[in-house]
């Protein structure tokens, strides 16, 4: 149980990747707080007493602060932050409004930025931390149908690198996981039942659609106490769709 003395926060923990990540961290011994606006009863039922749901809109500055303070107060600290929550509406570039762009950046970039700010005092006080951001394999291939989303996830890669430089001396690592198109309920709503998955499979060297569980080993790797020398990296877990 390598994370038995750690407290983790996972955003977007109600379903999909967030639920899988929360369950994996709990399985490794961590106590996990889930941040989501959606009902997290399914996640809580799956994980049990190691999971504590917080109803919070991570785009709301005051709600973010209260939630992080609540985790530290009720769970005794905060050591791992997984910035998983995000949106990727497939809006044609020419039709993307300023409001659309602000909405995407608010959840995909501003929330991880400010949640990391809020978590830092507790991580520094504990002398140990892991920040894990979620980007996308899209940043390496530049798909034309999700320009705003790709721009937002490229910003997450830059955020990761700068924070890694800033926080390395505090024994806090910062890394990014960049998945391909993972089969989740959210992805299916955004792409259609199989059209998007079939197109992406054609680009992959591993010719199957990934499930949320395919990302778990990468998450546990970057969070492991033995991974303290790994920081500022983007792990491109996309089945080989983009070779760099």
Residue showing tokens 């930025």: 113
Q: How far apart are CA 179 and CA 12, in angstroms?
A: 16
Kindly give, in sequence order, each residue whose CB lies less than 8 Å from that of residue 221, ignoring residues fewer than 6 positions away: 227, 230, 235
CA 197 to chain centre: 21
Q: Please say if 149 is a catalytic residue.
A: yes
Could you give the C-alpha distances from 103 to 61, 97, 106, 107, 238, in angstroms and in order?
A: 14, 10, 5, 7, 26
Q: How far apart are CA 203 and CA 178, in angstroms?
A: 16
Which secondary structure element, helix H or strand E, spans residue 216, and what is its range?
helix 216-223
Where does residue 71 rank: exposed (0-12), middle (13-18), buried (19+ CB within 10 A)? buried
HSE (CB half, 13 Å, CA atoms) of 84? 28
Cα-flanking dihedrals φ and ψ of residue 112, to 5°?
-60, -40
Of 35, 88, 128, 149, which residue is the catalytic one?
Answer: 149
Q: Which residues are catalytic?
A: 149
């Amino acid at each position: 149980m390598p994370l038995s003395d750690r407290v983790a926060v996972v955003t977007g923990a109600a379903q999909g990747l967030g639920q899988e990540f929360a369950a994996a961290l709990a399985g490794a011994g961590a106590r996990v707080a889930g941040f989501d606006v959606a009902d997290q009863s399914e996640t809580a039922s799956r994980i049990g007493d190691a999971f504590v749901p917080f109803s919070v809109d991570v785009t709301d500055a005051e709600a973010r602060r209260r939630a992080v303070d609540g985790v530290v107060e009720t769970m005794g600290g905060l050591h791992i932050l997984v910035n998983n929550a995000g949106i990727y509406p497939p809006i044609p570039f020419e039709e993307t409004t300023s409001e659309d762009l602000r909405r995407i950046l608010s959840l995909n970039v501003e929330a991880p930025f400010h949640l990391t700010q809020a978590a830092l005092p507790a991580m520094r006080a504990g002398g140990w931390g892991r920040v894990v951001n979620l980007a996308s394999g899209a940043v390496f291939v530049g798909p034309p149908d999700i320009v705003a989303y790709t721009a937002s996830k490229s910003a997450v890669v830059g955020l990761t690198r700068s924070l890694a430089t800033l926080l390395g001396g505090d024994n806090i690592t910062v890394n990014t996981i960049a998945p391909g198109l993972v089969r989740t309920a959210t992805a299916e709503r955004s792409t259609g039942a199989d059209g998007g998955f079939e197109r992406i499979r054609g680009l992959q060297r591993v010719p199957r659609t990934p499930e949320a569980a395919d990302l778990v080993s990468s998450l546990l790797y970057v969070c492991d106490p033995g991974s303290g020398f790994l920081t500022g990296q983007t792990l491109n877990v996309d089945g080989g769709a983009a070779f760099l």
